[in-house]
Each structure stands twice: as C-alpha cells, then as structure tokens.
Amino acid sequence: MSYLIKPTGYKALLNLSQTEMGIKKIKDFFQQNLSSELRLRRVTAPLFVLKGMGINDDLNGVERALTFPIKDLNDAKAEIVHSLAKWKRLTLADYQIEKDYGIYTDMNAIRSDEELGNLHSLYVDQWDWERVMGPEERNVEFLKEIVRRIYAAMVRTEYLVYEMFPEIRPVLPQQIHFIHSEDLLQKYPTFTPKQREDAITKEYGAVFIIGIGCQLSNGEKHDGRAPDYDDWSTVAENGQVGLNGDLLVWDDVLNRSLELSSMGIRVDKEALLRQLALSHAEDRKELYFHQRLLNDELPLSIGGGIGQSRLCMFYLRKAHIGEIQSSIWPEEMRREAREAGMYLI
C-alpha cells in the first residue's frame, strides 16, 4: 500500500534544470570519493541473473523477483536483480582482487513488491561495492573503520552541493555515531524499530546501527536480513551480535530518519551454515553461490549498497524520491504530491 508524507509548507529549493545538474555532480563526485576511500575498481554489473543459482539478493526473504524466460536457453528463467550482494563476491573471486582492494558498480534493479512512497520506488539505483578483507579484520572495529570512510565521502559531497547551491547549507555532523540495535532497544524499550531509528538519528544527525537481522532481547529483530550475505549472528568480544548495520541520517524535510546505506562483513563458512539453520533455509547449501563459498572458492569480504537517488534526495533537500528519478506512481499519489509542492518526474 502506497503512503505519502506531505511536509507542511514544502517548496523545492531547486528547479528541474538545477536538480538534474545537481544529480550529475553528486553522482560523479561521490563515486570518485568512494572509490578512493575504499580502493575500489568500477566494474559492469548485470541487470538479471539466472534463477535457481542463489546469486540474487533475497532481501527479507518475501519479496518476489521479476522473472522471464530466455528463448535461446530453452526457456530457462532469468530474474531481475534485487541487489548484487552475492554477485559481487563471486566477481571478487573471478577477477582475483587482492586484499584491501575491491569493486563497485552502478546497480539498477526493479523491486515490484515495494510499498511506494516518499522513499520507496519500483526502480532501485545503488552503488553496490565489495572489498576483500582478511580473517583478522572480521570484527566490529574494522566495520566501523569502513563506515567512517564512507561517511567522510558523504560529508565532502554535502560541501560540494553547498558550493554549487549556497541556499542548501550543510547539516551533517563531522562524525557519525555508532550504536548496537540491542543498546538502541534498551534506550527506547517502548518504541517500534522505526521510532527508535528516528529518535536516535534526530539526536545525533548521523547514526550507524549495528546488528541488523539478529534476534534482540525482546525476541524480535530490529529488521530482517537474508541469511547468506551479511554476518548478523557472530558474537563479538563484547558479547554483542552482528557484524553488519545500516547508516541513517536525519532528514529535516521529511522530519524523519533516512537510511542511505546497508553494509556488513559477509558470512564465512561457519556463519553461513549457522544462519541458514537459524532461517530454516539449509536447502540453499546446494546452490551455486553457496557451494562456491563452502568450497573455499570465495574471498572473505565486506560490502554494501548506497542508494543513489536517496543520497541525491537528501543533498538536494527533496521530499520525494520521484523528484530525483523517473518511475511509475499511483495517479492519486502524483496528484497529492503535486498539490503538496512535489513534482514527480
């Protein structure tokens, strides 16, 4: 079901021409900074993969991938990607990328089961990235180091926007705040996960929530995560569970938190088997991706995705992702958005 947030008195700061110019500058500048910060090489990504190989991202495990038959492969089914979380790790192996280096790509996807609104579209565009790491780096401190590098690129990009459009003043804090999802639950025990995200992000401006997918003390997860890419079940030295997380910033336009990135240290063999068992998905062990991982054919890695349209939406102070990208929206949403000052492309 679609849902539209209509900020009171909203008026776009930039016209269509300025918006398009800003989008290009932001995308060019940010991906160059991301590449430099993490030593990433750009590669070309697929729009679709063969069904039944375990390569496509299962997201929360309930979203349906769009499929179509391929005539020249005896009508074998292909799937439009949801993201490239597992494909990237295969590519690290096939390209023989060295430790401390990695890849990034422009990922375009279609998610037909998205609930359409200010932040969610049928069309998804991300920078998907993956970097080879060593076993000694499979810890929370290394995860935080990578997060800080990515966030530094975000802060620099916001200043570039300010130089282009002085009416858009920087709001990101210089440092990002880290908190584990269990500590967040203890801080706001009566809140829903979304309410907890809003409260902590409004307090600090930019937050990385660690431990997405693991079960918390109340018997629930902060949010769902597939069992076969992020490691959300490994117990750290401090007793906290999870080597992944979400990066959020406070959006003054929508008066709520905005998730810009999801990332994590990927599963090794032990974590994969443990998480498949916890998720009752042990049948996946026979799939192509999982077999290569279990046979030690894939490197240890850390990776994630960064929303391109959401990043531009935040920097350009837009109230709807449809002001950044062209997609399909319910006609009623288009009408209501236009009445509220949001002109959807």
Catalytic status, residue 259:
yes
Catalytic status, residue 246:
yes
pLDDT of residue 242: 95
Catalytic status, residue 37:
no
Q: What is the mean pLDDT of residues 130-156?
A: 97
**CA distance to 160, 165, 176, per residue, from 18 (Å):** 14, 9, 29
Catalytic status, residue 215:
no
pLDDT tens-digit profile of 199-211?
999 999 999 999 9
pLDDT of residue 60: 59
- Percentage of the chain modeled with pLDDT above 90: 86
pLDDT of residue 61: 57
Single out the catalytic residue among 121, 261, 262, 327: 262
What does the alpha-carbon distance between residue 64 and residue 49 come to, in Å, rounded to a whole number? 14
Report if pTM > 0.95.
no
Instruction: Report all structural domains of the chain as residue ranges with CATH numbers, in order of start.
Output: 16-46+83-339 (3.30.930.10)
pLDDT of residue 2: 64
- Map 42-102 to HEC letters: ECCCCCEEECCCCCCCCCCCCCCCCEEEEHHHCCEEEEECCCCCCHHHHHHHHCCCCCCCE
Q: Is the pLDDT of residue 1 over 70?
A: no
Single out the catalytic residue among 31, 35, 57, 327: 57
pLDDT of residue 238: 80
- Contact assessment for residue 212 and residue 143, using Cβ atoms and an 8 Å cutoff: no
pLDDT tens-digit profile of 92-118?
999 999 999 999 999 998 888 888 999
Single out the catalytic residue among 259, 291, 334, 336: 259
Catalytic status, residue 111:
yes
Single out the catalytic residue among 111, 196, 266, 310: 111
Single out the catalytic residue among 31, 121, 126, 257: 126
pLDDT of residue 167: 96
pLDDT of residue 221: 95
Catalytic status, residue 126:
yes
pLDDT of residue 309: 96
Q: Which residues of 100-118 are buried (b: 16+ CB within 10 A; e: fewer)?
A: eebbbbebbbbbeebebbb
pLDDT of residue 301: 98
Average pLDDT, the chain: 94
Structure tokens at 239: 């007793």
Q: What is the mean pLDDT of residues 292-302?
A: 97
pLDDT tens-digit profile of 34-76?
999 999 999 999 999 888 877 877 665 567 788 899 999 999 9
Sheet containing 256-265: order of strands: 40-42, 102-110, 123-132, 301-307, 256-265, 244-251, 206-210, 177-180
Single out the catalytic residue among 228, 246, 251, 268: 246
Q: What is the mean pLDDT of residues 255-273?
A: 97
